[in-house]
Chains A and B, each alone.
Chain A
């Protein structure tokens, strides 16, 4: 799917870091911003951003989700793209804000923002047509494509498009690659036993590739799978795609 809604390279974009990256994986956010800026796009990061509201939305607490989402809407007034380094959070804003804000007074604003949302890898590939030169040492990475990227936004292939530009990176796919890792946000809290069983299965297929690193476009999956692998005393550093790309292509 081509998610492109702007026809040419924008001068500026809003950047939405997501709460998970804010607290656990800031290097992913920094990497993404550096990549965008190197392409000549100036990045606006509203400091009042918090969370897109997805955890409450997926848990049925729509009033709370709406209050939080509404607070985010106000941060993106200019008619420029909103780039999000997570398919899960981008999916929330792009695909679910329209339902969340249905019949609300600010529905039009929500639809407008939703229409400007880009998942990072899709933005880099489809809008910026980014060209990357690999400056790093040879490394093998196992790719986990998040369910939101693969099925909700249909941008799962962008990760591969980007990685294929790095000639020193060997891309490995785990067996059963389309299967969910079992995170599912509050699912991991509400049904921890199933979540754990799924995470163990996913970690086993990821480890079986023998890759040196684990890469994804979503930090929820990275946390889930990566924390299992660490618990098993295995060394397979996890990296958000943006962090990996920046690390290997910066001068």
Chain B
């Protein structure tokens, strides 16, 4: 059965050089995180606290959002609500048109990727420039980010050097990282100065103060949000937290889990547009709050934990499947384990992302490292069930995940029925297993991909059941 995901995977697995490089970087990220967790007990306490903060925030999502909105508005931030990515894009376009702006600089934002804002604005004659170095590289290559924290994780230094050289033909070709970064930095400065609008994401929204918090390492986020006269922030509604006090533990956990840093180079706290006595800052700050399925997810007591995510990428870095196939194979904005649970819930099982819950061995590495302890394997299990379940309660009520049951294939369902019948009839089960042992030398040697790299499994000469019947054992 060939699906979009399966063919992406086949393609990804053929890219040997990319695979080797990806493993090196992923292993380095794992080591960085490990290095940042010196005290296990303190780290577990921090996780407990942050898990509770996020659970509380998502439980009170509607209330906190209202509180946030009224505080942000009082501070002078213009708050816009978007149910869909199209609405969010139209709001951005409206702001651009209002200012007759044809160009914007962008900080790194996964929600902007979710919106596909670059392509949308492009179709209306507006250029977006990615100013995060990794995002810029991805933009030069006309690709999508392959990781939520390290967008150009799949690119090797030489490839990056070629891309940058191609974009700045005046510069001599160079592979030195410092020099490459300097070239881009010089180019960006003029763009920041000239840009009428800056667009960024948001890491956390603080309800009690109406503050937007944005963390980054390159200073481009600060430039995007302070230099242009208009700052547009885009984010998902789940990023809200109740108190300012909640922020330090979350930031501490986020950066350690993501890159192993105790803190990022820049922590931006945005409260309002420029005030009369401020030395800098934009004249207008807009915040676009995107739902795109999130409030539906928040309605399910089990699935809502998906929204606890703080986007550190630790699950991605530790996922053995991601390590093999990389980010692009997922075909979604967010890859890896968190993508495999979030994207199907957003897009539904009829979309290509509907297959992503299958992209897991349920090894548990993701849940082991998740800073806020999202039970990703349990949610994968739930989604696999939603995908193939029958008898949805009522025709009128909307399914929790769109397309629930659409993954149910008649042949597969029949196989499970037969399996269950055999396993509930020990007599049949025993006859079948015994038969398999008697045919052990006549079973097919070719079992598709399994035997492409493995010998075919061979049943024993006799089953354990048979052996034990001749041993002096109580069989009850």
Contacts and interface: CB of A to CB of B under 8 A. Distances in A.
B409 to A, nearest CB: 11
A173 B14 CA distance: 29
Given A47-B426, A191-B9, A193-B10, A64 B420 contact: yes
A25 B433 CA distance: 12
Contact of A151 (B360, B364, B426, B465): B364
Contacts of B422: 50
A193 to B, nearest CB: 5
Interface string B378-390: 1001011111110
Main secondary structure of the interface of A (DSSP, over half): helix
B474 A42 contact: yes
B449 interface: yes
Nearest to A99: B378
Q: Name the residue among A19, A55, A151, A224 with the largest chain B CB count within 10 angstroms.
A: A151
B454 A224 contact: yes
Interface in B445-476: 448-460, 462-469, 471, 473-476
Contacts of B436: 23
B453 A228 contact: yes
Contacts of B389: 60, 62
A33 B473 contact: yes
A79 interface: no
A187 B358 contact: yes
B318 to A, nearest CB: 9
A150 B413 CA distance: 32
B429 A183 contact: no
Interface in B1-53: 6, 9-10, 13
A68 B324 contact: no
A179 interface: yes
Chain B: interface residue count, which band?
Answer: 35 or more
Contact of B9 (A71, A75, A194): A194
Interface of A: 12, 17, 19, 21-27, 29-30, 33, 42-51, 53, 55-65, 67-68, 71, 75, 99, 147-148, 151-152, 178-180, 182-185, 187-201, 223-224, 227-228, 230-231
Contact of B361 (A21, A64, A75, A184): A184
Main secondary structure of the interface of B (DSSP, over half): helix
Contacts of B364: 147-148, 151-152
Interface of B: 6, 9-10, 13, 320-321, 323-325, 358-365, 367-368, 378, 381, 383-389, 407, 413, 416-417, 419-420, 422-424, 426, 429-430, 433, 436-437, 448-460, 462-469, 471, 473-476
Nearest to B424: A71
8 contacts: A55-B419, A61-B420, A147-B362, A187-B361, A193-B6, A194-B325, A224-B454, A231-B453
B241 to A, nearest CB: 29
A25 B460 contact: yes
A172 to B, nearest CB: 20
A62 B391 CA distance: 13
Contacts of A46: 475-476
A226 to B, nearest CB: 9
Given A187-B360, A228-B453, A45 B423 contact: no
Contacts of A55: 419
Nearest to B428: A50
Contacts of A26: 460, 462-464, 466-467
Nearest to A37: B473
Nearest to B9: A193
B384 A198 contact: no
Contacts of B325: 194
Contact of A53 (B381, B423, B462): B423
B365 A178 contact: yes
Contacts of A190: 358
A15 to B, nearest CB: 8
A190 B367 CA distance: 22
A58 B381 contact: yes
Given A23-B433, A24-B460, A68-B420, A194 B465 contact: no
Contacts of A182: 320, 361
Q: Name the residue among A27, A33, A45, A178 with the largest chain B CB count within 10 angstroms.
A: A45
B384 A60 contact: yes
Given A27-B460, A180-B361, 9 more contacts: A22-B433, A22-B464, A43-B474, A50-B422, A151-B367, A152-B364, A193-B6, A198-B324, A198-B361
B381 A194 contact: no
Q: Name the residue among A17, A26, A179, A188 with the largest chain B CB count within 10 angstroms.
A: A26
Contacts of B388: 59-61
B416 A61 contact: yes
B463 A57 contact: no
A27 B461 CA distance: 11
